[in-house]
Structure 1
């Protein structure tokens, strides 16, 4: 039995909220995936339709950060191919390994990342990026491949992990968010094409929720740039808890 159109009455506002928080600190999928499941869609349609939403939201956020100069193009353009390769590898590995095996481990890791961000009071508040140094590339190249694999394999919190990576090499959290959204848009685009070919997207749900997700992402990105890294930092902490809870319980 397919969902009735009434599901959009709660699907659209939740998609807006997901777009807002994803543009600020990542983790929007922790809202949209359960929402689509609650509508009664089968898992294959949930995953495919969620990528339709994600391409709207991450694309909108990327545009906002890009046009305001909060994306480090020279670095990000080098990382996108690795993100796409990692995503493809992760999608391949999911057929051989039970994702539930890693859920608790990833939840512990992301809570540790969140604690490190919060306990270090200056972390991510100042921009200390030194350019395409050996250290920058030594951290971001392998980390992007791993993050891409995680996105293809499991998914929740991909943008949150990417933000931490960019903050680790010296970006403030606003620029880290802009860079992370851009890389995440690339992985979403790759997955979108894959799922588009598979024909599992529920367009009458995905398009209006995608538009709401894009609007939320626009508002979220502008809010992050307006309020600065301190605002993003506390939003980041909330999203870490949301993602960890989603991994453990769901």
Structure 2
């Protein structure tokens, strides 16, 4: 680990800070921040496991920053959200443990198509509004969805925020900004669960992680402010763009 850190100079740390700032801003509105930070960490010469662990460390600060700002502005009810946060935390931890023993090849092949469908739904669905709507769907389906998404985030990860938002809109009947606020809080919970196990394994590069965490924190705070100020006008287009770009990137890596 010390050998890796010794190769980094101030310019490289600044580059990673900027990448984390941009990722935090985008992720707090549309998700997909890891699509920016993970490639940057790998390009910087960090081994894959350390890159994933360090990315999880810095992204935790971004999800916390966004969730906290949404909470201050009244978009997040902690009393109602906490049980779900504990649920996704537990299953994210289980997923993080499981990924060490199970191959993820099949999941990586279908993921681009799932994200593409998500982007198309957001592009054309008339149900995507700022208003909360009544839903006849039993809450058990939302619990089941969160169980699967929590496990998925610890097991694999890309697109977790998008899947959380979709579940909240379709199954919970929440408005777009409310769904985004809750998704950031639940994503923070899943991040913490994975972070614990990466830290226990000694895989996190803390100096790099702290520099990137600062960029994430600032970017996510500004992104959440923009989401609240402009609402659906900025959230919906950015979600569609990020979804299509993420799907294209994953397909390109496969084929």
TM class by shorter chain equals: over 0.9
Question: What's the counterpart of residue 185 of structure 2?
Answer: 182
Alpha-carbon distance in 2 for matches of 1:170, 1:244: 26
Q: Map of 1:82-161 to 2, 5 A cutoff?
A: 82-120=87-125, 122-130=126-134, 135=137, 137-161=139-163
Alpha-carbon distance in 1 for matches of 2:220, 2:131: 23
Alpha-carbon distance in 1 for matches of 2:130, 2:214: 33
Alpha-carbon distance in 2 for matches of 1:15, 1:179: 22
CA displacement at 1:61 relative to structure 2:
0.5
1:36-73: CA deviations, max 9, x gaps?
Answer: 11111111211111111111101100100011111143
Alpha-carbon distance in 1 for matches of 2:48, 2:218: 26
2:199 aligned to 196, 199, 205, which one? 196
CA displacement at 1:181 relative to structure 2:
0.2
Q: CA 1:74–1:124 in structure 2 vs 1: closer, same or farther (change >3 Å)?
A: farther
* Residues 177-186 or 49-58, more deviating: 49-58
CA displacement at 1:74 relative to structure 2:
4.2
Q: CA 1:72–1:239 in structure 2 vs 1: closer, same or farther (change >3 Å)?
A: farther
The answer as to whether partners of 1:124 and 1:170 remain within 8 angstroms in 2 is: no
- Which structure 2 residue ranges, 5 or more long, are not aligned? none
Once superposed, what is the RMSD of the aligned Cα atoms? 1.7
CA displacement at 1:134 relative to structure 2:
6.9
2:45 aligned to 31, 40, 46, which one? 40
Alpha-carbon distance in 2 for matches of 1:139, 1:62: 24
1:27 aligned to 29, 32, 57, which one? 32
Alpha-carbon distance in 1 for matches of 2:69, 2:130: 21
- Which structure 1 residue ranges, 5 or more long, are not aligned? none
TM-score, normalised via structure 1 length: 0.92
1:242 aligned to 240, 245, 255, which one? 245
TM-score, normalised via structure 2 length: 0.91
